[in-house]
Structure 1
């Protein structure tokens, strides 16, 4: 039997300041903090999935049996795109501006979907776009 096509359960970003990044995703984006291990990671609930913020120095080290996962990680800015509900892109632009977050790029794709790009405190690229960007229902 072939398994069903999977969805994404979690997305990881690597950050140099866990508190600043968690504050951005909690206070600006509106995610709920789920679990924190000081100096190692902060996980935040995102509609149907988890955004995992990791200290790259800590995840490159063995967890000494605390976590049953192999060392992993990335260096440099990553990217995450949050799904905006149909017609909410302008509301996100206004919300980000009200929080003093500079919009790095704001444009319309050939299919008419608008994308907003900002940077989190660790310089990760954060996008807000409607699911129609990829021809998904919103």
Structure 2
């Protein structure tokens, strides 16, 4: 049996309206699903980006689905894949279009570049070449 791929990435933000605005503008996506005060989901190419209000997910979801409680506090991290030319395009979008400060921009010792910004909750948002982990772009 092969190792599975990641289907969902989860980050936590209390202000879901700010999350929707930030990630909607950043990724150019409309929400796939939302539950007021609890979560907002975005569908990417082969994965879901799930953004939960941590206060809401510490309580049972209710309804017909037995989803366990979960949550995290503090700053999290999400990394989006980008090809070498795409890194500069993302940098321009982040700085010029969204007015964000680049927190870090560097080449990894084993090859590949990463850039980092912060979302409205302080989560670290990275765009990186897959080769930082030995994957082809």
Shorter-chain-normalised TM-score: which range?
A: over 0.9
What is the rounded CA distance, in whole Å, between the counterparts of 2:17 and 2:125 in structure 1?
17
1:4 equivalent in structure 2:
2
Q: Secondary structure at the match of 1:12?
A: strand
Moved more, 108-117 or 35-44: 108-117
CA distance in 2: counterparts of 1:131 and 1:67, whole angstroms = 35
Whether the 8 Å CA contact 2:84–2:113 is kept in 1: the answer is no
Query: Where do 1:50-69 residues align within 5 Å?
Result: 50-69=48-67
Map of 2:126 onto structure 1:
127
Root mean square deviation, CA, Å: 1.2
Alignment of 1:6-25 (within 5 A): 6-25=4-23
User: In proportion to residue count, which structure has more strand?
Assistant: 1
Equivalent in the alignment of 1:109: 108
TM-score normalized by the length of structure 2 = 0.94
CA deviations on 1:11-59 (whole Å, 9 max, x unpaired) are 1101020010111111123233100000000000112000000000110
Per-residue deviation at 1:63? 1.4
TM-score of the aligned structures, taking structure 1 as reference length:
0.93
TM-fit CA distance, 1:68: 2.1
Residue equivalent to 2:72: 74
Check 1:113–1:39 CA distance in 2 against 1; reply closer, same or farther (3 A cut). Answer: same
Change (3 A) 1:45 1:102: same
* Partner Cα separation in structure 2 for residue 133 and residue 31 of structure 1: 26
Gaps of 5+ in 2: none
Contact 2:81–2:128, Cα closer than 8 Å, also in 1: yes
Q: CA deviation at 1:66?
A: 4.7
